[in-house]
Structure formats: C-alpha cells, structure tokens
A and B are shown apart, each in its own frame.
Chain A
Amino acid sequence: MQQQVETWVNQAKKGDQQAFYQLYHQFKGRVYAICLRLLADRSQAEDATQEAFVRAWQQLPGFRGDSSFSTWLHSISSRTAVDIWRKNKVMRLVVDEEPEEQGYFDAPEMPQLEQAILRLPAQARAVFVLFALEGYQHNEIADLLGIAEGSSKAQYHRARQLLRSWVDEN
C-alpha cells in the first residue's frame, strides 16, 4: 500500500486529479476523524476536511517525502482544523466553562468515549485530541492554540477527569 500511495502522490504532484482522488479515498476517514474530534461539529468537520485536502493539493508540489504522506497530511489536517477552531474561539461569546451542546453526540453508533470527547469543552477537547490522539507536545499545542503551555497541561488534566467521570456514567 505504501508503494501505491507513493505512486499516487507522484502522479498527483504532476497534476493528476484522479490519483489525488485515490489519496482522498484512502485518507478521508483519518482526516475527517481529526477534524470532527477537534471541532465536535459534523458540518464544520466536513468543511475542514475539504479545506485540508484542497490545501494538500496546493502544497503537494512542495512535498519532498521527508516524512510519510500520511504524517504530512495529518499535519495539514490538524492545522486546518485548528484554524477553524481558533475562528470559533473568537466567535465564542461565553467563557468556555460548561460543556457545549452539540448535536453529534446523540449518535448511538459512536463509541462511548468518542461521544464523550465531543462533549468536552472546546479548549479541553482540542488539547486532549492534539496531545492524546495526534501526538503533539504541550509546547506545540500552546503555539497552535495560542495558549500558555501550562494551560495546555491543565486543560489536558481537566479533559481526562471529565472523560473518566462521563464514561463511567453509562
């Protein structure tokens, strides 16, 4: 599969949209997962996924293969979702103290922890997803989200506490 991905990447670099479609088909689930977990909103996650792939297409000629395509695409996806997250943050009128109401966690097909992540307050959720699921360090998260490193650690601790209590509810 890795070799096949490399072939598609090389073809897409040259402008082959069909090859890029194959890459989209292969990675759309992972990209969407990052976006949904960060944004906790299905519509925004879809928009972010589309934007991430458009950015990937635009930046692909500069992709040199220093990391795997998957890692590279993950990075673009995280940053794209964070960009939207930051816009949302500006739009937020109330302090992020209470868990937000989202429509998505009614989805019974989703695992319990998945639903609980989507219930987290925005900042705690973003820190948790980036640290626990995407492998970012707290200093990197602080830069990405525009918060202090100490806040990132505190929000992560808070997220874990909430998740432990919520998951136990059911």
Chain B
Amino acid sequence: MKTEQQLDAMISQLAPALEPQRDLWPDISARLEPRQRRGYGAWLGVAAAAVLTLWFWPQQLVQVPQLAQNGPVAVSNEPQVQQAEAQVPMANADVSLLAVSEQLSRQLNEEQTRQLKALQKIPDGFSDWSQQIAIWNKAQAQIELALAFQPDNQKLIQQLQRLQQQQLSYIAKLVETSELT
C-alpha cells in the first residue's frame, strides 16, 4: 500500500486538464443566445415567466387557462377597496405563497408602468394605455383581496391569471407596435 506521502505526491502530479474526445463547441455554440440590450422585449419575457411561475407553482393541478380573447374581465367600479395590504389572518403555506405572489405582482405592475412611461412615442390606438393598465391593476387588486379571504377559490385564481395574461399581452402588443413605428 502506498503511504500518504506517496499518494499526495501522485495527486500533485495529476494533470490540471483533460481533453474531451470530441469537439463540444458546436453544441455549445448552438445554445449561446445573442446578448440583447435590456429592452422591453426581454423584460416582458421575464415578467411573463415570473407571473406564470408564481401562479402555476403553488396551485398544483389547476388547469392552465387559455389566453382570453375578449377584453378585460368585467370589473365593478365599486368604491375604493383597501388592497392586499389588508391584514388578513393567513394560516397555511399556500396563503403565504399567495401573499408573496401578490407582492411580486404589484412590483411587476409598478415596473411595467415605469417602463411604459419611458416609451418615447405611444403608437396610435394606445393613447389610453395608462387607463387600461389602471383598470387591470384595480381588477387584480380586487381579486387579490377576495383571494385573501378565499385562498383556495380556483375560479378567482383563474380569473386573476387571465387578467395578468391579458395585461401582459396588451403591453407586449403596445411595445411591439411602438418598436415598429
């Protein structure tokens, strides 16, 4: 049996590099995405992924809804309602996830609005974008409030998903049109 010192000596002589037997670059090259400027397109992709991940992860077995084809879901213009900051007792992990998702959703909305305000030129047909966004935000806030009381209500969850998808689609179309003009 080799001594510890002999083993250490052999370890120190190991080659720092071993050459792969085939050329790995073509596969790597095919997977390298071009660097993009931090534009709206990339940001929207991240936003969409964040929203979808937040919703599909905790809900298990909730059927993925189709992207709504019609306009915003009808929302009553009831008097102002305190948003999800309302302190509601939440007992289980699902509710905690819901709270986190609501927080992130709000941050997402704020970021959306900030980015949209930075657009140099608003394309025709989108002049009322801020009102449209406000309607979606208000609708989402109301559903979030309802979800705070009924966190397992699948219809509410699906309705919120649809609203978020509609909002993202609208912004995507706005940005796309803006870049074309």
Contacts and interface: CB of A to CB of B under 8 A. Distances in A.
Interface residues of B, number: 28
Contact of B11 (A14, A20, A50, A132): A132
A137 interface: no
B81 interface: no
B22 interface: yes
Interface string B6-42: 1100110111111111101101110111110000000
A59 interface: no
Contacts, number: 84
Contact of B31 (A24, A46, A50, A160): A50
Nearest to B16: A30
A117 to B, nearest CB: 8
A32 B3 CA distance: 29
A15 B38 CA distance: 13
* Main SS class of interface, B: loop
A61 B19 CA distance: 27
A29 interface: yes
B17 A29 contact: yes
Contacts of A20: 32
B93 interface: no
A80 to B, nearest CB: 13
A119 to B, nearest CB: 15
17 contacts: A21-B29, A29-B20, A32-B17, A32-B24, A33-B17, A36-B18, A46-B20, A46-B24, A49-B24, A50-B28, A57-B33, A113-B10, A113-B13, A114-B14, A114-B18, A160-B7, A163-B2
